[in-house]
Amino acid sequence: MQLLELRGKTQRADTAFRWISVGAAAVVLVVLALVAITMTQRSLPVLDKMGLDFFTSSRWVEAEGSYGALSFIFGTLYTAVIAIAIAVPISFGVALFITQVAPPWLKRPMVYVIDLLAVVPSVVFGLWGVLVLSQHFGLGRSFLTAGVILAIMITPIITSLAREVIETTPTADKEGALALGCTRWEMIQATVWPHSKGGLVGAVMLGLGRAMGETIAVALVIGSVSQITANPFAAGNSMPAVIANEWGEADDLHKSALIALAVTLFVITILVNLVATAIVQRSMKRSRGS
């Protein structure tokens, strides 16, 4: 009798634990749903007023109640593209060095050092960017300065993803290439590249997503000027930087416009991340299948 009772109790505890864990997992869904709903709701006032002009005009004047975000969208994409252009060759070079060239004893310390770069807070990069990079290297506050800072911040991320992808290249392929008389670079061309292509593209896109969402460092170095120009030495602005810089003094419509910027940013980064993940997973599946 007592045994039966005990069993009932433990069984109840077992079920309770299960449901608690389900609840904890569900928090993710609840938070994401709330983010999407509340943010969209709050951005409606400005979208009602501006309509599509919000995305196609670059006239952002609080006094007139005119909010066109085009120049900020441009700034976000432009700085992210500069960052990618700088970060990708360096990341791939470092990843190839670690996986193909470095002697075994050097690999681990190098990975540690690069991880260290990844945990330096973005505001510290921003401070360094505004007081050292922009002043002593003559870059000023500009798209380029923001792009360089972003490149420094996303290089460790792309490097570590690229390293993981490249490491899955089958040793047999590489040894086969070397046995045929390939030099090291030819071996990389013939085996590592084709094998890792998909994963590397995914890694770059994850870096791109990170670069577009970065706020603080960019807010400090980009110069806060609303303009669309291809000149990388010109000052500009980006969506997250505008939000951080203008939130404090914003009235209701202005706040709604800043939230609409955040929603736009949210949608763009999620799209980029989804595409990136899809590419990475497809290439992982393919390389596992072979």
Partner 1 sequence: MTDPAEAVSLVGPPDLRARRSSRATTSMIMTGLMVAAVVAILIPLIAVMYSVIARGAGVALESFPDFFTKDIPALSRRAGPGMGPAILGTLLVTGAATLIAVPLGVLGAVYLHEYGGHHKFARTVRFMAMVMTGVPSIVMGLFIYIMWTMRFGYSAFGGALALACLMLPVVIGSTEQMLRLVPTQLREASYALGATKARTIVTVVLPAALPGIVSGALLAVARAAGETAPLLFAVGAAKAFNPHLFSEANTALSVQIFSSDLAFPAAESRAWGAALTLVLLTFLLTFVARVFTSRFALKR
Chain residues 98-157 in contact with partner 1, contact rule CB under 8 A: 100-101, 110, 112-117, 119-128, 130-132, 152, 155-156
Instruction: Kindly state whether residue 44 participates in binding partner 1, applying the rule CB under 8 A.
Output: no
Instruction: Kindly state whether residue 201 participates in binding partner 1, applying the rule CB under 8 A.
Output: no
Are residues 221 and 133 in contact, defined by beta-carbon separation less than 8 angstroms? yes
**Amino acid identity at 137:** F
Angstrom CA distances, 79 to 54, 68, 110, 165, 265, stand at: 21, 19, 28, 26, 14
Instruction: Kindly state whether residue 34 participates in binding partner 1, applying the rule CB under 8 A.
Output: yes
Residues forming a β-bridge with 213 = none
By CB under 8 A, name the one of 78, 144, 195, 226 that touches partner 1.
Answer: 195
The three-class DSSP label of residue 229 is coil
Other C-beta atoms lying within 10 Å of the C-beta of residue 239: 27
Instruction: Kindly state whether residue 219 participates in binding partner 1, applying the rule CB under 8 A.
Output: yes
Instruction: Kindly state whether residue 231 participates in binding partner 1, applying the rule CB under 8 A.
Output: no
Closest CB 101 distance from partner 1, rounded Å? 6
What stretch of H or E contains 89? Answer: helix 70-96
Site for partner 1 in 54-73 (CB under 8 A): none
Instruction: Kindly state whether residue 186 participates in binding partner 1, applying the rule CB under 8 A.
Output: yes
Q: How far apart are CA 276 and CA 198, in angstroms?
A: 9
Closest CB 189 distance from partner 1, rounded Å? 5
Instruction: Kindly state whether residue 193 participates in binding partner 1, applying the rule CB under 8 A.
Output: yes
Residue 102 is classified by DSSP as: S
Instruction: Kindly state whether residue 158 participates in binding partner 1, applying the rule CB under 8 A.
Output: no
Which span sits near partner 1 by CB under 8 A: 26-34, 44-52, 60-68, 229-237? 26-34
Instruction: For partner 1, give the closer residue by CB, 50 or 157.
Output: 157
Q: How many residues bind partner 1 (CB under 8 A)?
A: 101
Closest CB 121 distance from partner 1, rounded Å? 3
Closest CB 285 distance from partner 1, rounded Å? 15
Range list of H helices, 180-251? 184-187, 193-213, 216-221, 239-246
Residues forming a β-bridge with 66 = 61
Other C-beta atoms lying within 10 Å of the C-beta of residue 107: 14
